[in-house]
């Protein structure tokens, strides 16, 4: 049973290997050390991925070939979580020794894999002068480890940047002695910078490099991208760590037989410090546009609406994307002013930037979710974004065109928003901003300050004048009334006087009680008065004439009638006997009153 | 009588609205500058009118607005208060003053006035002091006429009506006079001020060695109780008192 299963697996694996082999990516490459000493032998390895034939080596006449090509094959099959990977490698190894110092290029080798020819890329090998023997130097017993044997170096890509321009800092360790491990690693702190690790190798790979003519094993520890946030000369603090360096012990004790077999290594702790690096950060030039928010680099701007025709109360998004290289991860969403009737929700930011050796590049998307509450055609104002172009050394302003959004009336509340009560769509008038009310532009009503009519002499003069006029007019009126009263009195008295003078003879006759002559005299006196007053001749003195002229002088009708009856009574009494009983007396009084009144009429 | 009337009329015109043509032109120019948002120029023109010795609630209101636009909140409050002093019932001034006060730091509880007092004040300031003066003069003249009618009318009914009408006119005249006089007294009161320094220290005695009692910020209104030298004893509307150096404040 088990054997059967095993057979099956082997069959399966074989089938997979065969099928995968046809599709596998074939590569052919050359591995060389970059730097070698002139007295050192080294290996170069051509590695082919896949079953190959017809290996055609390059020209190696610059070197002495000590051995090779020796061929080795390696195949492996992995099945992890059902995913199978299969590798098949053939490597051709040469062991070479340089003839002299200098730079040499190993040309490309060719190989045929699965019917196709592949060639390796050429590699350069630098041969430097060997310092005696590297092996013998390690054999010499070194008690301590000098700072030339192991050191750390911090390198910046640029020493002079403007604020916001990205730079890359690499922290590398160089060593010529074997290292067992690290302790108390203190990475630098970047004060005044926004920093991000862009490379943190999980296993440290040593590469040979020459520094000052010596070969070191160099390894990258960290790589950071920095964005200066302050101006001036900024210092990147030194970083330090303690390396456990293995040195061969130098014991004075007699060496035992075993000591010769087993090297007696001792671990020495060595503090390694990478010196501080200074970076000069220049401020951005003045004259930044209003929409500038710190972007430095080279960007392009694009804005679009997810839909350009929607119904009211539906959601739509405005997507603003900024692409380019620079401090893209520090770019803030552009400030947009939407029509007041729009509900705007929190901006969603998607950062699709990648950090490489030259700073970050990629794109950043800002999504503004909107819900228009009213219908109509809205023009969204252009999105503006400005940045400082490092290459052109000037500010660049980008602007998108106006975006049009057509908002339909929305569905009826009955169909689309049946759950909402009818009054919900009504809203109070919102205050969107406060400001002082506008100035008054009508006539200013200026007054001399501190001047008041009520405290001016003018006011009191007028009041006094009013009082004075009141008294004056009052006095005048009362005097006039008084005088009028006097005039009436005098007039009355004079009229009475005239009447009495006229009737003087009649009065005497009345006293003597002479009946007929009395009435004759009374008749004559009244007619005489009338002829005098009315300017009538005695011949014209008829009753009709008298009445007519009296009426023409607007004398009261009753007075006229009374006068006429009086004249009639006198004429009648002249020829009639005395009736007695004070009739004479009465007629006399009546006549006086009549004449007085007629006189008063004038 | 006719000559007197012309005299009165010309006196009214002289003391009346437009004196010189210069300030009227300045006023229009300043309003136009404000309209074009040239606030500094508008302010200069308004202040020139003020320097000529003229004032009005509208002038102070516009100056206050201009200072507000120039972000000088304490000065805008000062001028709004000055405008209110001339016309305390204007809704625009009250609105803008309360808006400007939003920008001040100190929050002091103000005791609201008794409602009858507010009514009375609103009635008083519905007409300017000079307006009340003219009413007082007119009513005094009417009283005199009615008294004459009362004295010399022959009809007893006319006499009766004239008497009561004269009484009413006299009361109105006296009341108008009182209003005009109250407005004058109120406007000549120099007992309120606005803090001008961003931070000023109120001390317990009128010298710099006095204990610090509290700190006032610009734009706060206060009442001046007395002055000694360069110091003023002030009271806040919540009743706290202290001494403040005079250059820190500006009297309304």
Contact A35, A128 (CB under 8 A): yes
A145-172: b or e for each residue (b if 16 or more CB lie within 10 Å)? Answer: beeebbbbebebbeeebbbbbbbbbbbb
Confidence of residue B89 (pLDDT cuts 50, 70, 90): confident
A294: left (phi over 0), alpha (psi -120 to 50) or beta: left
Three-state SS for A436-498 is CCCCCCCCCCCEECCCCHHHCHHHHHHHHHHHHHHHHHHHHHHHHHHHHHHHHHHHHHHHHHH
If contacts are CB pairs under 8 Å, which of residues 71-100 in chain B contact chain A? 76, 92, 95-96, 99-100
The enclosing H or E element of A575 equals helix A557-575
Residues of chain A with pLDDT under 70: 1-25, 130-145, 248-264, 355-359, 410-428, 430, 492, 495, 578-581, 600-602
What are the residue boundaries of the structural domains of chain A, listed by start? 2-128, 136-252+260-282, 292-414, 491-601
Residue of A nearest to B128 (CA): A452
Contact B130, B180 (CB under 8 A): yes
Strand partners, A363: A323, A352
Q: Best interface-test mutation with A: which of B18, B36, B58 has the largest number of A CBs within 10 A?
A: B58
Strand partners, A321: A302, A365
Q: In this structure, how many other beta carbons lie within 10 angstroms of the beta carbon of residue B62?
A: 27
Q: What is the ipTM of this complex?
A: 0.75
pLDDT of residue A183: 77
pLDDT of residue A250: 56
More confident residue, A3 or B174: B174
Contact between A448 and B57 using a beta-carbon 8 Å cutoff: no
* Structure tokens given for A460: 């009191």
Contact between B31 and A477 using a beta-carbon 8 Å cutoff: no
CATH class of this structure's domain A2-128: mainly beta
Contact B77, B103 (CB under 8 A): no
Cα dihedral sign, B201-B206-B209-B214 = negative
Distance CA A32, CA A130 (A): 18
Q: At how many degrees (to 10) do helices A504-512 and A457-502 cross? A: 50
CATH no., domain A136-252+260-282: 2.60.40
Side-chain-side CA neighbours of residue A368 (13 Å): 20
Contact B100, A436 (CB under 8 A): yes
Contacts of A449 (CB under 8 A, 6+ apart): B53, B54, B55
Strands A239-248, A214-228: pairing is: unpaired
Contact B115, A452 (CB under 8 A): no
- For chain B, the farthest-separated pair of C-alpha atoms sits apart, in whole angstroms, at 81
- For chain A, the farthest-separated pair of C-alpha atoms sits apart, in whole angstroms, at 211
Looking at the complex, report in whole angstroms how far the Cα of residue A592 sits from the nearest Cα belonging to chain B. Answer: 31
Looking at the complex, report in whole angstroms how far the Cα of residue B179 sits from the nearest Cα belonging to chain A. Answer: 10
Cα dihedral sign, A355-A359-A363-A367 = positive
pLDDT of residue A263: 60
What residues of B are in contact with residue A437 (Cβ under 8 Å)? 65, 92, 95-96
Tell me which residue has tokens 């008083």.
B124
Looking at the complex, report in whole angstroms how far the Cα of residue B147 sits from the nearest Cα belonging to chain A. Answer: 9
Average pLDDT of chain B is 85
pLDDT of residue B173: 93
Segment B53-57 shows an average pLDDT of: 87
Distance CA B30, CA A292 (A): 35
- Tell me phi and psi for residue A360, to 5 degrees: -90, 150
Q: At how many degrees (to 10) do helices B129-152 and B156-188 cross? A: 160
More confident residue, B35 or A357: B35
Q: In this structure, how many other beta carbons lie within 10 angstroms of the beta carbon of residue B177?
A: 20
Distance CA A292, CA A67 (A): 65
Distance CA B117, CA B109 (A): 19
Segment B90-97 shows an average pLDDT of: 89
Helix spans in chain B (H): 2-15, 21-35, 39-51, 57-69, 73-86, 91-101, 115-125, 129-152, 156-188
Across the interface, of A450, A459, A473, the residue whose CB is closest to B133 is: A459
Whether omega before B220 lies within 30 degrees of 0, making that bond cis, reads no
pLDDT of residue A416: 40
Residue of B nearest to A433 (CA): B99
Q: Best interface-test mutation with A: which of B1, B19, B31 has the largest number of A CBs within 10 A?
A: B31
Among A545-559, B5-19, B53-67, name the most confident range: B53-67
Contact between B134 and A453 using a beta-carbon 8 Å cutoff: yes
Contact A109, A44 (CB under 8 A): no
Nearest to A473, CA basis, from B92, B203, B152: B152
Is any Cβ of chain B less than 8 angstroms from the Cβ of A349?
no
Fold of B192-251: SH3 type barrels. (2.30.30)
pLDDT of residue A224: 85
Q: What angle do CA A143, A144, A145 make, to 5 degrees?
A: 135
Q: Best interface-test mutation with B: which of A433, A436, A457, A471 has the largest number of B CBs within 10 A?
A: A436
**CATH: 3.40.50.720, 3.30.70.890, 1.25.40.10, 2.40.50.100. Which one for B19-101?**
1.25.40.10
Q: Report pTM.
A: 0.44
Is any Cβ of chain A less than 8 angstroms from the Cβ of B181?
yes
Strands A403-408, A292-305: pairing is: unpaired
Strands A277-282, A160-162: pairing is: parallel
CATH architecture of the region A292-414: Sandwich (2.60)
A393: left (phi over 0), alpha (psi -120 to 50) or beta: left
The SS3 call for residue A237 is coil
The SS3 call for residue A169 is strand
Distances (CA, A) of A205 to A41, A121, A173: 21, 22, 11
Side-chain-side CA neighbours of residue B42 (13 Å): 25
Contact between B61 and A465 using a beta-carbon 8 Å cutoff: no
* Structure tokens given for A79: 């099945």
Across the interface, of B27, B152, B180, the residue whose CB is closest to A444 is: B27
Segment B89-95 shows an average pLDDT of: 87
pLDDT of residue A40: 77
């Amino acid at each position: 049973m088990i054997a059967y299963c095993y057979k099956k697996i082997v069959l399966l694996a074989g089938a997979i290997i065969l099928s995968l082999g046809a599709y596998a990516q074939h590569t052919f490459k050359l591995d060389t050390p970059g730097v070698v000493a002139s007295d050192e032998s080294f290996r170069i390895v051509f590695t082919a991925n896949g079953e190959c034939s017809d290996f055609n080596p390059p020209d190696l006449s610059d070197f002495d070939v000590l051995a090779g090509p020796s061929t080795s094959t390696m195949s492996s099959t992995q099945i992890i979580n059902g995913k199978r990977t299969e590798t098949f490698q053939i490597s051709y190894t040469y062991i070479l020794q340089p003839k002299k110092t200098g730079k040499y290029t190993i040309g490309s080798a060719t190989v045929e894999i699965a019917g196709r020819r592949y060639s390796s890329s050429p590699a350069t090998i630098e041969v430097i002068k060997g310092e005696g023997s590297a092996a013998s130097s390690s054999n010499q017993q070194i008690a301590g480890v000098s700072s030339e044997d192991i050191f750390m170096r911090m390198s910046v890509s640029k020493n002079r940047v403007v604020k916001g321009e990205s730079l890359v800092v690499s922290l590398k360790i160089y060593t010529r002695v074997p290292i067992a491990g690290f302790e108390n690693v203190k990475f630098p702190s970047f004060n005044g910078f926004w920093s991000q690790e862009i490379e943190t190798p999980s296993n440290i790979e040593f590469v040979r490099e020459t520094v000052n003519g010596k070969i070191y094993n160099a390894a990258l520890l960290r790589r950071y991208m920095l964005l200066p946030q302050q101006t001036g000369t900024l210092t990147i603090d030194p970083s330090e760590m303690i390396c456990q360096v293995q040195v061969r012990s130098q014991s004075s004790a007699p060496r035992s037989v075993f000591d010769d077999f087993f090297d007696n290594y001792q671990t020495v702790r060595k503090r390694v410090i990478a010196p501080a690096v200074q970076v000069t950060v220049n401020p951005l030039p003045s004259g930044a546009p209003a929409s500038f928010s710190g972007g430095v680099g080279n960007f392009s701007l694009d804005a679009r609406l997810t839909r350009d025709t929607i119904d009211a109360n539906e959601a739509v998004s405005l997507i603003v994307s900024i692409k380019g290289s620079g401090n893209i991860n520090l770019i803030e969403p552009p400030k947009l002013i939407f029509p007041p009737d729009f509900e705007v929700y929190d901006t969603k930011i998607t950062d699709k930037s990648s950090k490489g050796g030259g700073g970050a590049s990629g794109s950043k998307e800002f999504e503004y979710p909107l819900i228009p509450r009213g219908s109509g055609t809205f023009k969204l104002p252009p999105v503006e974004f400005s940045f400082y172009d490092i290459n052109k050394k000037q500010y660049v302003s980008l602007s998108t065109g106006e975006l049009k959004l057509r908002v339909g009336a929305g569905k009826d509340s009955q169909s689309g928003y049946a759950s909402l009560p009818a009054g919900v769509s009504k809203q109070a008038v919102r205050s969107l901003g406060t400001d002082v009310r506008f100035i008054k532009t009508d006539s200013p009503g200026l007054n001399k300050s501190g001047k008041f009519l009520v405290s001016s002499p003018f006011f009191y003069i007028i009041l006094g004048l009013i009082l004075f006029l009141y008294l004056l007019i009052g006095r005048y009126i009362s005097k006039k009334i008084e005088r009028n009263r006097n005039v009436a009195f005098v007039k009355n008295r004079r009229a009475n006087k005239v009447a009495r003078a006229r009737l003087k003879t009649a009065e005497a006759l009345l006293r003597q009680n002479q009946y007929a002559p009395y009435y004759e005299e009374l008749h004559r006196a009244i007619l005489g008065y009338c002829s005098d007053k009315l300017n009538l001749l005695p011949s014209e003195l008829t009753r009709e004439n008298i009445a007519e002229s009296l009426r023409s002088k607007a004398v009261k009708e009753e007075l006229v009638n009374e006068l006429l009856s009086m004249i009639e009574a006198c004429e009648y009494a002249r020829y009639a006997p005395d009736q007695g009983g004070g009739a004479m007396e009465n007629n006399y009084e009546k006549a006086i009153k009549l004449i007085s009144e007629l006189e008063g009429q004038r | 009588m006719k000559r007197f009337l012309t005299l009165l009329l010309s006196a009214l015109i002289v003391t009346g609205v437009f004196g010189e043509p210069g300030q009227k032109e300045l006023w229009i120019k300043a309003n136009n500058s404000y309209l074009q948002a040239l606030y500094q120029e508008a302010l200069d023109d308004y202040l020139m009118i003020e320097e000529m010795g003229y004032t009005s609630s509208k002038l102070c209101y516009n100056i206050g607005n201009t200072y507000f636009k120039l972000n000088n909140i304490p000065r805008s409050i000062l001028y709004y208060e000055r405008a209110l002093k001339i016309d305390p019932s204007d809704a625009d001034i009250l609105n803008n003053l309360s808006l400007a006060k939003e920008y001040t730091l100190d929050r002091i509880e103000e005791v609201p006035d008794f409602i009858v007092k507010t009514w009375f004040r609103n009635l008083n300031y519905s007409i300017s002091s000079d307006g009340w003066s003219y009413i007082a003069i007119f009513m005094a003249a009417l009283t005199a006429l009615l008294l004459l009618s009362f004295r010399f009318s022959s009809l007893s009914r006319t006499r009766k009506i004239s008497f009561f009408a004269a009484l009413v006119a006299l009361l109105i005249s006296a009341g108008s006079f009182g209003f005009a006089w109250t407005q004058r007294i109120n406007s000549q009161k120099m007992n309120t001020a606005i803090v001008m320094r961003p931070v000023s220290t109120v001390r317990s005695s009128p010298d710099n060695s006095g204990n610090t009692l509290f700190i006032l910020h610009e734009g706060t209104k206060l009442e001046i109780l007395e002055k000694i030298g360069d110091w003023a004893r002030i009271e806040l509307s919540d009743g706290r008192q202290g001494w403040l150096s005079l250059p820190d404040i500006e009297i309304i």
